Amino acid sequence: MLLAITREVSRSIVNCELTFLDREPIDVDRARREHHEYEAALRQLGLAILSLPEAPDLPDSVFVEDTALVLDECAIILRPGAVSRLPETESIAAALSPYRRLQSIEAPARLDGGDILRLGKHLYVGLSSRSDTNAMEQLQDLVAPDGYEVHAVSVHGCLHLKSAVTQVASDSLLINPAWVDRTSFEGVKFIEIEASEIHAANGLLVGDFVIYPRSFPKTADRLRRAGIQVLAIDADELAKAEGAVTCGSLVFSV
């Protein structure tokens, strides 16, 4: 069975961290409706949901992906690059502890889960404004005993590696080539986003479906033409907080 850990949108999301976007008003109620639609999509695809309660004082806490990396063998509690997000990890560690052996990235290293793309036993780590080489080296030491290899990837122009590239099929990546170099990845095919939809490279692969924002219809058509089944949801309000569909859950087998 697949389980998704999620967290309710914080009432303080209006004070979220922003790096590449200008601040816009965020409608908290609408953001919560979008998040509930996201959870419904996960349920539709057969996942069980462990929904954590709102963290009123943690604006970005709905984006649980940044707090942990869950592998088959263990879960690694990360150390988010924004200081305001460091307190998010305690409750995530508690939620994961019944399911996985826990390990941790230690200070002063910084690593957001949005900067980790897993392809089998290969972990690609984006070196972004939120993640550094210290954390990448710690991660390699933690996962090497279980046969994983860690690869550094340069990221520019966006928040996270998975802002620029995500897995959308067993052998395919959706990519914005302006933000990441495709030669960083081996043994996969690429689907380029529609150039006019610069934030369109983030989709969440669950089984044979990709959960994907409705706001990028041209790129969605490219996915469908490639034979990929798209489950479209609204995600515009959460996108104002530099969030994307991979950010909102930790998905793993139990």
pLDDT at residue 104, as a whole number: 98
pLDDT at residue 59, as a whole number: 98
pLDDT at residue 39, as a whole number: 98
pLDDT at residue 245, as a whole number: 98
Active-site annotation holds for 247: yes
pLDDT at residue 157, as a whole number: 95
pLDDT at residue 195, as a whole number: 96
The two tokens of residue 221 are 């058509």
pLDDT tens across 163-211, in order? 999 999 999 999 999 999 999 999 999 999 999 999 999 999 999 999 9
pLDDT at residue 53, as a whole number: 98
pLDDT tens across 122-164, in order? 999 999 999 999 999 999 999 999 999 999 999 999 999 999 9
The alpha helices in 97-229, defined as continuous H runs, are: 133-143, 161-164, 217-225
CATH fold of 2-253, please? L-arginine/glycine Amidinotransferase; Chain A (3.75.10)
Mean pLDDT of 3-28: 98
How do beta strands 122-127 and 68-70 pair? unpaired
pLDDT at residue 149, as a whole number: 98
Catalytic residue among 35, 158, 160, 199: 160
CA–CA separation, 94 vs 244, rounded Å?
24
Question: Residues 191, 168: contact at Cβ < 8 Å?
Answer: yes
CA–CA separation, 235 vs 104, rounded Å?
31
Backbone φ/ψ region at 129: left (φ over 0), alpha (ψ -120 to 50), beta: alpha
Catalytic residue among 16, 158, 199, 247: 247
pLDDT range class, residue 250, cuts 50, 70, 90: very high
What are the domain boundaries of the chain?
Answer: 2-253
Active-site annotation holds for 74: no
Q: Other C-beta atoms within 10 Å of 215: how many?
A: 16
Element of type H or E holding 229: strand 229-233
CA–CA separation, 62 vs 16, rounded Å?
10
CA–CA separation, 164 vs 244, rounded Å?
11
pTM of the model: 0.97
pLDDT tens across 82-118, in order? 999 999 999 999 999 999 999 999 999 999 999 999 9
pLDDT tens across 208-230, in order? 999 999 999 999 999 999 999 99
Mean pLDDT of 48-57: 98
Mean pLDDT of 57-71: 98
Mean pLDDT of 224-245: 98
Residues 6+ apart with CB under 8 A from 240: 21, 24, 26
pLDDT range class, residue 74, cuts 50, 70, 90: very high
pLDDT at residue 177, as a whole number: 98
First to last CA, the chain: 6
